[in-house]
């Protein structure tokens, strides 16, 4: 998987913007997993609808980690770059939380590089789970749209869901 310097620069810029914008929210969860009453956002639940067991690409992920020096906060990527739709809302795709990731993950898809037009926000995927279909918040136009995908790992610290690591990729969503 060869990534150009321009794409890495764009991805790093996107990461910085998202981190500054504070796109992810925290919630208080007690030791039984129940949400405590607070003024914070809802706890991110686990995705169930449309979730499948991820394809086994451990060898590919392992070679990526080896090439990157396997930093502790790295996220193993497991996705196909293209997604397809006939109506602009329901997309056939593949986005997974790799078995190589030790943390649960949620996915956000944006139509713009400023992360203002959110197309999709998932609940948590456990390692080894994947989406093969997404339903967007609104339709994309016919043709190919480059979307911006945030992959965010979550861990529980002192009973609160916190961001552990986050990475960003672009994908091509095609509407026929």
What's the whole-model pTM score? 0.63
Range of the domain at 79: 5-175
What is the number of other CB atoms lying within 10 angstroms of the CB of residue 62? 14
**How many domains is the chain partitioned into structurally?**
1
Task: Report pLDDT digits (tens) over 108-130.
Answer: 999 999 999 999 999 999 999 99
Side-chain-side CA neighbours of 97 within 13 Å: the count stands at 27
Instruction: Give the pLDDT mean for 127-151.
Output: 97
pLDDT value of position 26: 39
pLDDT value of position 88: 97
């Amino acid at each position: 998987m060869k990534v150009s310097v321009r794409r890495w620069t764009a991805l790093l810029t996107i990461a910085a913007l998202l981190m500054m914008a504070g796109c992810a929210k925290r919630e208080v969860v007690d030791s039984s997993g129940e949400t405590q009453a607070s003024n914070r956002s809802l706890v991110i639940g686990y995705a169930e609808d449309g979730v499948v067991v991820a394809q086994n690409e451990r060898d590919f992920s392992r070679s990526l980690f080896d090439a990157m020096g396997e930093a502790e906060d790295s996220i193993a990527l497991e996705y196909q770059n293209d997604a397809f739709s006939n109506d602009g809302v329901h997309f056939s795709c593949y986005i997974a939380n790799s078995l190589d990731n030790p943390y649960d993950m949620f996915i956000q898809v944006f139509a713009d590089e400023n992360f203002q037009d959110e197309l999709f926000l998932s609940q948590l995927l456990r390692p080894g789970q994947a989406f093969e279909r997404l339903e967007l918040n609104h339709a994309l136009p016919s043709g190919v749209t480059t979307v911006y995908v945030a992959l965010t790992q979550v861990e529980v610290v002192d009973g609160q869901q916190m961001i552990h690591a986050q990475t960003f990729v672009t994908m091509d969503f095609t509407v026929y």
